[in-house]
A and B are shown apart, each in its own frame.
Chain A
């Protein structure tokens, strides 16, 4: 069977589900952030495969922008985590309940 768009999209969906699972079950902020990157990469894979099978480069330019935004997002998010750690000495979501009623 020829590998087509569907194959790539299934891989992308599975990777996205893996990332979502990580965000839900892991309790460490850094590992949750790594899983978020996994989800972002799954979206990138879907876009690149659409671009390939539609014979147009627009999808790849979009992925280029997504990678740039992801880099900026990682920088800001990690700065937030470091600031949080400095205040609480913990990167664990269960310790961050100061907004709980």
Chain B
């Protein structure tokens, strides 16, 4: 087992552990704690991206998700009343039904992933095929040639989202 394999297990364990702490933290039900653990999840996932040779996406993941998106989240949490969440008690019925339904869907996932053995793995790339690297150069080349139209469409989407947010945040929302 080489170093990349060990690193995979380490970061996969970190990702799953922090992900679980986002959802069900035994020590705190404060949304700020959840948000901070989501930042840690995203950072360990960026490490997994590096192991998968997706260097550019790892950087984007940290800059956009752990940076911009989570700052937005923490800012909105700051505006709200946090103490109220702690006072509410958890309804057992909801937790039990949630765990049962998630267990069922997870067993479907794992059965389909692990149950087929070698028959479902992708055909091995012959011999010394170069392993693809997702650096900024090759990704940008693809983005501005093959995926030109989606790139333009996404810019319109961002504009629409921006206008929508400004409209929604107006004081006299009609």
Contact = CB atoms under 8 A, between A and B. Distances in A.
B157 A54 contact: no
A82 B157 CA distance: 21
Nearest to A28: B85
Interface string B46-58: 0011001110110
Contact of B52 (A48, A76, A78): A48
Contact of B69 (A17, A24, A71, A90): A71
A55 B99 CA distance: 37
A83 B65 contact: no
A42 B41 CA distance: 11
A94 to B, nearest CB: 8
Contacts of A51: 52, 54, 132, 134
Chain B, interface size category, equals 35 or more
Contact of B53 (A52, A61, A71, A79): A52
Nearest to A73: B161
Interface residues of A, number: 72
Interface in A70-101: 70-76, 78-83, 85, 89-92
A57 B16 contact: no
Contact of A17 (B56, B88, B109, B150): B109
A19 B68 CA distance: 21
B173 interface: yes
B22 A17 contact: no
B69 A72 contact: no
A19 B142 contact: no
Contacts of B158: 68, 72
